[in-house]
Structures are given as C-alpha cells and as structure tokens.
Chain A
Amino acid sequence: MSSDRKGPTPSSRPPASFSRAVFAVAWKDLAAELRSRELLSAMLVFALLVILIFNFAIELAPSLRPTVTPGVLWVTFAFAGTLGLNRSMAIEKDRGCLDGLLLAPVDRAAIYFGKMLSNLTFMLIVEIVVLPVYSLLYNTNLFVPGLLGVILLGSIGYVAVGTLLASMAVQTRTRDVLLPILLFPVIVPVLLSAVRASGGFLQGLPMEQIRPWINLLAAYDVIFLAVAYMVFDQVVEE
C-alpha cells in the first residue's frame, strides 16, 4: 500500500517545466486524436443526433426558440461531453497510458491539467461545429460574443469536474454508466447559470441581469479547478 506516496510538490520544480508537462500531456491526446479521429467524430455525430431528437421531442417553434435554445444547446453539450470524457479516460486506462504517465517524473497535477486541456479542446471543437449547424437549422443567430464567452466559461467548469470524476469512474467496475450519474448532480450550478446567462444574451437582456450568472460560473470554475488540483493525486494513486 502506497497511500502516503505523493507526487512531487509543485513548488519544488520551476514553473516552466510544469506548464511544459501540461502541454505535453494535452498534445499527446490531441496528436493521437488527429490520427484516429474516433473520439471527435463520435462526439460530433452524437451531438447532431441530440439536436435532431430535440426537434421532434419539443416543437422548436420560432416563437419559442429564444427561450428554449439555451436549454437545448447545453443539454447537447453536456451529453456529448460525457461521451468524450468517458472515452478519453478509458483509452488511457486500457492502453496502460495512465500507468506510464504516473511513472513519469512529472507532477500529478500536470497530468490533470493536461487531460483537462485536451478534454476542453474536444468539447470546444464540438461546440464550434454545433453552433453554426443549430443557427442554420433553426434560423437563429447564435454568434453573440457574450454567448461565446459563456460557452467557454461553462465548458471549463464542466471539464474541470468532469476530468476528475471520469478518472475515478474508469477505475470502477461500472465505469461506462457511472460518469453521468456522478457528474450531473454536481454540475447543476454550471448548467443552471450557463443556461440563464446564454438565454440572457440571446434575448438581449441588460448586462445587470446577466452578470450574477457570469460571476457564479467564474467562481465555480475557479473553485473546482483548485479542488481538482488538490485532490487529483488521491484519484490516480495506485
């Protein structure tokens, strides 16, 4: 039992090598994805399917669109996101990459931030594709600068918690079903405030009504990045 083993403390190494390790981990994922493209294609097709299903499930009548659009978008992102998170951690586990990474002389937190960065990139790519498709299909202009900012903030919060929980979920017996069950109840603040803020921008509400939601999103991002940074060690300990 090596329960007392801890990664090297971040203060003991120069910051340059920490950020280099983060980018190396993220780049490894992105390069692998560039070659296989299996993760992104699955996430994208799934996201488009969800949007299509929403069209039949709830009448997306033009008069309802401004109020329903943010909800539909965020549910789509959240579903596609779990698909991606699960897969990206499962690949690590199955190919034994995680063990290799853990043996490497890098701070464990760098592994977390690297994985988080690559997961965030995948999610943002999906969102960048979904937005114009949705605008086109439902004739709604989604290219509001504020909305893009909200999507970035929301995705960071989602991926910050998601990466941590996914690395726990893949180490359990019920790994494929567990991630959404673990993730959704704790991600409620992100989804709620992201939907409210997105809706605010789409309906052109004054900034005073949107700002509390943006603040909440930013606070959630900061808190959970910090918490995940502190506990990631415990999750990957072997």
Chain B
Amino acid sequence: MIPYAISIKYMIGGYAVIFSILAIYLVSFFVRFRSLQRDLETLQELESEDK
C-alpha cells in the first residue's frame, strides 16, 4: 500500500498539472481570439479608408 502522505501529494500534483495545462490552453485560446478580432477590426478600418 502507498502511504497516505505520499499518495495525497501525487494526487494534488496530478490535478494541479491537469488544470494548469487546461488553463494554459484556455488562456491561449482567448488571447488568439482577442488578437484575431482586433486584426479584423483594423483590417475593416483600413478597407473603409481605401474606399
């Protein structure tokens, strides 16, 4: 049997890693979404200036 103290440490470590990778992915997702939206707005402005 694995001692409780060790087992609980690995469990916390495991869930910390799971949620940090998820969080990093979600943050990168939002950052990309934001910057794309900004790009789109700038491009739309450029286009309307051309006309």
Does a CB–CB distance below 8 Å link A and B in the complex?
Answer: no
